[in-house]
């Protein structure tokens, strides 16, 4: 489990493609405190650490995960939002995030509003019903509040701090974004089906 509060921005140091994908990710984390088998959310995808170095860790990404996320676009030098898994007693600053991506949203508009940036995204049709104004979503692993919803489109406002400490400062129209809907929204919708 995660909170959607990004604690490091890593950089892809190397990629090996062999059916699945192995990525080596440079990090500012103290890798001495990371164990093989630990979970780290990488752009919102819960991945298992399979190798470690002084300033990097490696993860394997299955073909299934590549087909459902934007990790297929990773290349050497790509920047990656990172979050270590939640520990009992940690502050829950965002919302409960599983690291299980539901689908890909597309950035359809980017507009500066003062020092902040308004980003409009288009959700896949089956996921749009789970996104509500003032609700939570995780986008590339970042816990965010939805401002408005119009059909499949929804708006997010990025304050300067978020743009500085995540990869969101470089967002562009056309970007594909890992979308995880709020777990509570999923259960409410399921309960209504049985109502």
pLDDT digits (tens, 9 = 90+) for 100-126: 999 999 999 999 999 999 999 999 999
Grade residue 88 by pLDDT with cuts at 50, 70 and 90. Answer: confident
**What's the half-sphere exposure (Cβ side, CA atoms, 13 Å) at 172?**
3
Res. 155: pLDDT tops 90: yes
Range from 10-14, 74-78, 159-163, 186-190 carrying the lowest mean pLDDT: 186-190
Q: Which helix (H) or strand (E) holds 66?
A: helix 63-68
Rounded to whole angstroms, how far apart are CA atoms 177 and 105? 5
Task: Give the model's pLDDT for residue 60.
Answer: 97
Q: Are 143 and 4 in contact (CB under 8 A)?
A: yes
Res. 184: pLDDT tops 90: no
Q: What is the mean pLDDT of the segment spanning 169-173?
A: 97
Q: Domains in the chain and their CATH numbers?
A: 8-84 (2.40.30.20), 103-194 (2.40.30.20)
Q: Are 2 and 141 in contact (CB under 8 A)?
A: yes
pTM value is 0.94
Question: How many C-beta neighbours within 10 Å does residue 174 have?
Answer: 9
Res. 48: pLDDT tops 70: yes
Q: What percent of the chain has pLDDT over 70?
A: 99
Q: Is the dihedral of CA 68, 72, 73, 79 positive or negative?
A: positive
**What's the half-sphere exposure (Cβ side, CA atoms, 13 Å) at 145?**
7
Task: Give the model's pLDDT for residue 54.
Answer: 97
Task: Give the model's pLDDT for residue 18.
Answer: 82
**Contacts of 27 by beta carbon, 8 Å cutoff, 6+ apart:** 8, 10, 55, 56, 57, 82
- Specify the 3-state DSSP secondary structure of 93: coil
Question: How many C-beta neighbours within 10 Å does residue 134 have?
Answer: 9
- Tell me how far CA of residue 90 lies from CA of 31, 84, 87, in angstroms: 19, 11, 6
């Amino acid at each position: 489990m995660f909170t959607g509060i990004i604690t490091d921005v890593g950089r892809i140091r190397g990629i090996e493609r062999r059916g699945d994908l192995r990525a080596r990710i440079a990090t500012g984390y103290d890798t001495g405190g990371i164990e093989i088998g630990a979970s780290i959310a990488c752009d919102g995808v819960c991945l298992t650490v399979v190798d470690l170095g002084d300033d990097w860790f490696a993860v394997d990404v299955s073909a299934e995960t590549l087909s459902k996320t934007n990790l297929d676009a990773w290349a050497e030098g790509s920047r990656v939002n990172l979050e270590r898994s939640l520990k009992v007693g940690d502050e829950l600053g965002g919302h409960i995030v599983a690291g299980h991506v539901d689908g890909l949203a597309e950035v359809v508009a980017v507009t500066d509003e003062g020092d902040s940036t308004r980003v409009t995204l288009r959700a896949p049709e089956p996921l749009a019903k789970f996104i509500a104004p003032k609700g939570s979503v995780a986008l590339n692993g970042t816990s965010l509040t939805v401002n408005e919803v119009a059909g499949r489109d929804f708006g997010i406002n990025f304050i300067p701090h978020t743009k500085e400490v995540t990869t969101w400062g470089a967002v562009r129209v056309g970007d594909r974004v890992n979308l995880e809907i709020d777990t509570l929204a999923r259960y409410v919708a399921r309960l209504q089906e049985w109502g």
